Amino acid sequence: MKREDIEFTGEGGVTLRGWFYPATDTSGPAPVVVLAHGLSAVKEMYLDDYAEVFAQAGLNALVYDHQNFGDSGGTPRQEVDPVLQYRDFRNAITYATTRTEVDASKVGIWGTSFSGGHVLMVAAVDKRVKAVVSQVPAISGSGVLSRFIRPDFLPHTRAALDGDRLQRFTGGEPTMLPAVTPDPMAQAAMPSTEAYQWFSKTSAERAPNWKNEITARSLELLTEYEPGSWISRIAPTPLLMIVSADDVVAPFELALEAYEEAREPKQILLTRGGHFDAYAGDGFDECSAAARDHFVKHLRA
C-alpha cells in the first residue's frame, strides 16, 4: 500500500518521524487515526499492518516513532519518558489535522501496550479525539513494576536508580538496562520470556533498528505514570478496550479494573492469548477488525 514518509515537531522541538497512509476510496477529506507503539518498540513492529487495515476502511492513518526511539530524534537515546510521549501524541494529532487529506473534526487514536495507557490520558483531556482504542494497555506504572520486580530485589533496584541519578547529575552517561532478557530472574524492563521471544523474533524479521536497551531512568519515570486514573474522564468519547485474558506483561486484572471505572459509551473485547498475540495471526485479525469497526462507526458514520 502507498504510504508517505513524514516528519513533524514534537515536544522540545524534537523531530518525530513516521508514515502517513492515505485513506482509500474517498473523494475528499477523511477521518484520521493516529497510532504509536509501546515500551521500547518501533513502528516497524506491526503498526504498519494496523495502519493498512484502517486505510483500507477509508481512514487515514498516521504512525510514528516516539522521541528517543527508532527514526525519531531526541536524546538521551532509548529513554522512555511517558509524559513526553503522551504530549507527542497530541502533537501528532495537531500535525495530522493540518493535512489536506484529513477531516480535522474526525480524529481517532489507537495505542497498544504502553501507548495503550497514553491514549487513555489523551482522550481524557483532548476533545479533538472522537474515538479511542486502547489495546492490551499498561494501566499503572507502579502496578506493573511491582509485579516485575521481586520484593527482595527492590532495595538493589532503588540503589541502582539512585546511583544513576547521581551519575547523570555529575555529567556521566545514563546507565542502560536491557529492555527484555531470556532470564526472567535478570534485571530488565520486561523480564518475561514471552517478551524476550517476541522482541527477538520481531526485530530480526521486521525491525533491525530496534535496540534491546532502555535507560535506567526510564524505570523511575514509569513508576510515576498512572494513566488508568484518567479513564473516567474519557466519556463521552467512545472507548474500545482490547484486553488479552492471559496477559501478564500488562496485567489483564489492572485493565479490567480500569474498564469498570470508565463511563459510557464504552466497549470491551476480551481475547484469548498473551500480550503479544494481537500483532500477528488470528489475534491480529480479531483485534484489528474490532478497532477498524470502532473507528468506522464513530468517525465515518
Sorted by where each starts, the structural domains of the chain and their CATH numbers stand as 4-140+226-300 (3.40.50.1820)
Q: Which residues contact 166 (CB under 8 A, 6 or more apart)?
A: none
In tens digits, the chain (301 residues) has pLDDT values of: 799 999 999 999 999 999 999 999 898 999 999 999 999 999 999 999 999 999 999 999 999 999 999 999 999 999 999 999 999 999 999 999 999 999 999 999 999 999 999 999 999 999 999 999 999 999 998 776 666 666 676 677 777 788 888 988 999 999 999 999 998 778 888 888 999 999 999 999 999 999 999 999 998 899 889 999 999 999 999 999 999 999 988 989 999 999 999 999 999 999 999 999 999 999 999 999 999 999 999 999 8
Residues 92 and 65: beta-carbon distance below 8 Å:
no
Reported pTM: 0.95
pLDDT value at residue 160 = 79
CA distances from 204 to 63, 197, 200 (A): 21, 11, 6
Q: What pLDDT is recorded for position 148?
A: 62
First to last CA, the chain: 24
Amino acid at 94: T
pLDDT of residue 248: 87
The three grid cell numbers given for residue 118, joined into one nine-digit string: 497514553
What was the pLDDT predicted at 141? 83
Residue 47 cell numbers, joined: 503498526
Q: What pLDDT does residue 15 have?
A: 98
Cell representation of residue 233: 474522564
- pLDDT on residue 197: 96
**CA atoms of 116 and 36, how far apart (whole Å):** 9
Residues in contact with 63: Cβ distance below 8 Å, sequence separation at least 6, in sequence order: 18, 19, 20, 21, 35, 36, 43, 47, 48, 50, 51
List pLDDT tens digits, range 127-157. Answer: 999 999 999 999 998 776 666 666 676 677 7
Give the model's pLDDT for residue 40: 97
